[in-house]
A and B are shown apart, each in its own frame.
Chain A
Amino acid sequence: MDCEKVEEEILESIGASRSLMIQSGINAHLGDCLACSSFAANQKSLDVLLSAMLTPPEMSREFRPVLLSRIRQEKMRSWSEVVPDIVHFVSCALATGLCAILLPFGLRAIFFAGIIATLITYVPMTIIRDSLQDIKQSDQ
């Protein structure tokens, strides 16, 4: 093995196991070559130092409970976003139904008026809700 190959093998061997044949070839070369044996020693101490300096950090115990609580909040938030829509459509449907029972007009006219009223009221409601959300986000 030449010096270049041995240096590569030394770098490769950190964090990976070498075959016995390659390892004995490296060892034989290191016994004869001062430059490579000093390179090997230098890399070995570098590995020891880096292993000591860059220890894998641990997450705190609170990580999981805090994350799960944030996800619960997120679920609530997305649910609370659709609640006004549901309330709006259910109320409009009830009002239309009530009008169909109580008012002396044809069913077709009442249902048509109900659909139009539902859509007309939905537009300003959406605009107001989006504006309020924008204000809330800019405050945050």
Chain B
Amino acid sequence: MDGDVQELLNKKRYEKAFEQLLELYGKKVFRMAVMMLKDVGRAEEVTQDIFLKLWQALPAYDGRAAPSTWLYTIARNTCLSAVRAESYRRTMSLNQVSEPTVSNLAPLKIAWEEYLSKLPEIQREVITLFYLEEKNIKDVAELLDLPEGTVKSHLHRARRALGKMME
């Protein structure tokens, strides 16, 4: 799959390469954005930004990394910038908002978000992506740029910790 895209990029057929990258990795990138931003609407906007950046950067692709690795790097950096911008915006708005906001989340979901938030960040990311990526370790490893063994080890630790919280 990556080989086909790489060939298209070598032939400077950027539109076709972009179409394939969007088709192959669009959903995965979106799920990673959901995991990092915890907001589906915002994640969709950021996914658009990621693919727009990819489109702008395609002529500069030098073939050193696989297209998917390159795309995931753009995606991670864009998501991190969005997370930073979001936390800054939230800090700013906290000074302005006096009324508490009413959450429409189900109590169970709130409890689970609390459990997940107690995990170290990397474990939270791994376990969330594991379920969002339909339990595919290889995809999680690629998205987070970690070896599969490391992903498994974080996943096991997260599962043990969550299991203890459930008891």
Enumerate chain A interface residues (CB-CB to B < 8 A).
8, 11-12, 14-16, 39, 42-43, 45-46, 49-51, 53-57, 59-60, 63-64, 66-67, 70-71, 74
User: A43 and B159: CB pair below 8 A?
Assistant: yes
Chain A residue contacts of B130, Cβ below 8 A: 15
Residue of A54, A60, A74 most packed against chain B (CB within 10 A):
A54
A63 to B41, CA, bound (A): 10
User: A51 and B131: CB pair below 8 A?
Assistant: yes
Enumerate chain B interface residues (CB-CB to A < 8 A).
18, 22, 26-27, 30-31, 34, 40, 43-44, 47-48, 51-52, 55-56, 108-109, 112, 127-128, 130-137, 152, 155-156, 159-160, 162-163, 166-167
User: B34 and A39: CB pair below 8 A?
Assistant: no
A67 to B26, CA, bound (A): 11
CB-based closest 3 A-B pairs: A15-B135, A54-B131, A11-B156
User: A43 and B163: CB pair below 8 A?
Assistant: yes
Chain A residue contacts of B131, Cβ below 8 A: 50-51, 53-56
Residue of B nearest to A42 (CB): B163
User: A63 and B40: CB pair below 8 A?
Assistant: no
A-B contact number at CB 8 A: 77
Min CB distance A60 to B, Å, is: 6
User: A42 and B166: CB pair below 8 A?
Assistant: yes
19 examples of A-B residue contacts, CB within 8 angstroms:
A11-B160, A12-B156, A14-B135, A39-B163, A42-B163, A42-B167, A46-B163, A50-B112, A50-B127, A50-B162, A53-B112, A53-B131, A56-B132, A56-B134, A59-B27, A59-B44, A70-B48, A74-B52, A74-B56
User: A57 and B30: CB pair below 8 A?
Assistant: yes
A53 to B112, CA, bound (A): 8
A48 to B163, CA, bound (A): 12
Min CB distance B113 to A, Å, is: 9
Besides A15-B135, A50-B162, 9 other A-B contacts (C-beta < 8 A): A11-B156, A14-B135, A15-B136, A49-B112, A51-B131, A53-B131, A54-B128, A56-B131, A63-B47
User: B34 and A57: CB pair below 8 A?
Assistant: yes
Chain A residue contacts of B156, Cβ below 8 A: 8, 11-12
A122 to B79, CA, bound (A): 39
Chain A residue contacts of B108, Cβ below 8 A: 53
A80 to B159, CA, bound (A): 54
User: B132 and A57: CB pair below 8 A?
Assistant: yes
Residue of A nearest to B128 (CB): A54
Chain B residue contacts of A39, Cβ below 8 A: 163
User: B55 and A74: CB pair below 8 A?
Assistant: yes
